[in-house]
Amino acid sequence: MKRATWSLVLLSAISLCLPGYATEDDRPKIGLVLSGGGAKGAAHIGVLKVLEAYHIPVDYVAGTSIGAFVGGMYALGYSSTEIETIMMGTDWAKGYSDTIPRQDLSYRDKQFRDQYNIPINVGYSDDEVKVPSGLLQGQTMSMLLRNATNLVPEYTNFNDMAIPYRAVATDLVTSKAFVLSKGSVVVAMQASATVPGALQPAEVDGTLLVDGGIANNMPVDVVKAMGADIVIAVDIGSALVGKDQLNSTVAVLNQLSTMLTNASTERQVALLSDRDILIRPDVGEMSTTDFAIMPKVLPLGITAALEFHHQLETLTVSDEAYQAYENHKSRLRAQWQSELKLPLARVVLENHSKVSDTLILDTLGLKQGLVVNRADLDAAIERVYALNQFERVNAEFRDTPTGRELLMITRAKSWGPDYFQLGLNWEDDFTLDSTITLDMAYTLTDVTENGGEWHNELRLGSEKLVSSQFYQPLDSDQLFYVQGTGKYEINDWDIYDGNNRVAELDKSSFQLFAGIGYNYTNAGRVELGLIGEWGEISNKSLLTDDFSYESWGGYFKLGYDTLDSISFPTSGNRLNLNLYWRNDDYPPFIDQDSGEGSLQIEADWKGAVSVGSHGLVGKAAFATVNKDGLFSVHLSELGGFLNLSGFHRNALVGSHKLFGAIMYQYDLGRDALGMTEFPLYLGASLEAGNIWELSDQIAVNDLIYASSLYLGTDTDLGPAALGIGLTDTGDKAFYLFLGKNF
């Protein structure tokens, strides 16, 4: 039988056999101190199980970092078994990413996310470049803590909890310990566990707070000040590593951090008396960040606590006294839990941004009279955070004489309101061709009252572009908008015969767009506008003179996008329909129609479904123009990875396009290799399509069939893939991508 099972059996026997050694009136007051230690905090639960088995009432709780979380849960009235279930069932790794899921972003922000695939948080204001004060802002972590604790209201004093409670953080300005004794339990827990540099400092009452382990990792002094006669302290700190392991910058920094933490712990150990109990589970060399170790750590807490069974027995109370203690905790817990069923009396917004209150409250969607549960609040906060305008969105319930109040706090990005964006795209098909582009953008936000934006872009590399766009919402809810765009671009316009390039042309153009649009849903928009284009095509070996043209007309665009990933989706759909009416003016030697212009239609769709580690992705594309046999610079292209694999990118060009594909994706990384940070997809595709110059040439028996096999993943730098494609015409190609959307 495993050690953990023996430990639980022993605890059950203890709870049945122990006599009562003290009454409630004359017993000493017990203070529990839980230290920081990250994932090793599961050992605290093991200690709690022993205390419960010995019928030892806890009168005061103080904790640091993970100890503040476990201690706070116990102080709210949760049992050790309930805390174990919650803690083991929480995906703590999610707390170390504040990235908004793609499917939650607005349609416009999705396009920016796809193009600027390198995630940087860099801004400019007040004549200086700004970055966040932490790699993460703590948004997701606060939601994990809120889910764990349930919708606990703010306390005017943590003494009013089922067990009086304190959390300890470090004042970033003074380096002194800061004791949190009131307000939001979630804020207190998170402030105590805010790792400097990794997480943005928490601000409480104007004080910047970081992880309490720096100043006081095991707050014995705090629980003594609360009134404890006897202290039970649990130390799960890390051990110093040997010289042979100090072989990197990270290792040295971790060693220094451990030194500081252990030094603060030893200062607290010196405060313990002979009556106090210091429990040190054998977890010193275990990881603080690998939460997969928690099931192994919990029994170590039980084992360490049982080593003090003689001292613990002296703290046992009678069954009647312990039951009275449990009943007291249950009443206080039931009091705040009963308030969860109260309807919402009002929403109070504390908005520290230029985003309109109307937009925030309408996006929140929580109305007076609604009984708000955790799922409702989570979804509401996620909607507001997905506006992509804030570094933090918090919510706290306050019970007032006039009813339950929800306080919403939104904070603008501290590195804004003007931002830099960066995108990288590398594409190689193992020939002499290699395409690398770098997109750099500078966006000014909050230019106008309704959230106007001025977006400026520079693209370098195989394609060159300079672009500027002004985007102006017309209402406070940002449903209607107008936009104007001007851009100048230079790129290659290659002509292929099959997979063989027969001509290389240079195309440069200046384009103007002006449109009015409607965001009919967060995932979709419709836009109507005018376009103008002035271009030039040149090739000194083929054309004696540069080929100049002009084009003007109008457009209609309809878009809808709920994909969770642009390149390797597992759910959602993406649909685009573009209509262009143009009147083109070409040189006299080009045969032109004397009609009133041409109508071009472009439509494409991509959708995905998945079950477990298996997924299916579908793609379809259609394009046509209403005039055949006439020259045009506005053509459709086909060819490349998953766009008729086996051909070079855009090898097929013409007026009429038809394409369809289905891809099977297996998440090899998570299912077979145990990878958790990024998926690793093993995929295969079946594709069919072609491009025709004349509409009467379109025929099913003229379709080209293709297939591919690939490995791909979504990384912090965007999608990456390695694949091979084959066609039934005998063409084949190898592909390597980084940052390329397909």
The catalytic site residues sit at 65, 211
CA distance 178 to 202: 12
Question: In Å, what is the CA distance from 487 to each residue of 531, 535, 581?
Answer: 12, 12, 20
CA distance 96 to 105: 19
- Is 571 within 8 Å of 584 (Cβ atoms)? no
Residue 628's φ and ψ, nearest 5 degrees, are -100, 150
Q: Going by DSSP bridges, is the β-strand pair 418-428/434-444 parallel, antiparallel, or unpaired? A: antiparallel
Question: Residue 582: which H helix or E strand, with range?
Answer: strand 572-585
Question: Residue 139: which H helix or E strand, with range?
Answer: helix 139-149
- Is 390 within 8 Å of 384 (Cβ atoms)? yes
Residue 268's φ and ψ, nearest 5 degrees, are -75, -35
CA distance 451 to 477: 10
CA distance 155 to 162: 12
CA distance 286 to 288: 7
Residue 731's φ and ψ, nearest 5 degrees, are -80, 150
Name the token pair of 644. Answer: 């008729």
DSSP calls for 225-277: HHT-SEEEEE--PPPPPPGGG--SHHHHHHHHHHHHHHHHHHHHHTT--TTSE
- Is 398 within 8 Å of 383 (Cβ atoms)? no
Widest distance between CA atoms in the chain: 108
Paired residues of 611 in beta bridges: 614
- Contacts of 215 by beta carbon, 8 Å cutoff, 6+ apart: 168, 169, 170, 171, 175, 176, 177, 178, 264
CA distance 372 to 633: 57
Residue 685's φ and ψ, nearest 5 degrees, are -135, 155
CA distance 537 to 547: 5
Paired residues of 601 in beta bridges: 579, 624
DSSP calls for 171-183: ETTT--EEEE-SB
Name the token pair of 232. Answer: 């039970």
- Contacts of 508 by beta carbon, 8 Å cutoff, 6+ apart: 488, 489, 490, 535, 536, 538
Name the token pair of 11. Answer: 């605890």
The total number of residues written for the chain in this structure: 742
What b/e string do you get for 465-484 counting C-beta neighbours within 10 Å, with b at 16 or more?
bebebbbbbeeeebbebbbe
Residue 611: CB atoms within 10 Å: 8
What b/e string do you get for 659-675 counting C-beta neighbours within 10 Å, with b at 16 or more?
bebebebbbbbbeeeee
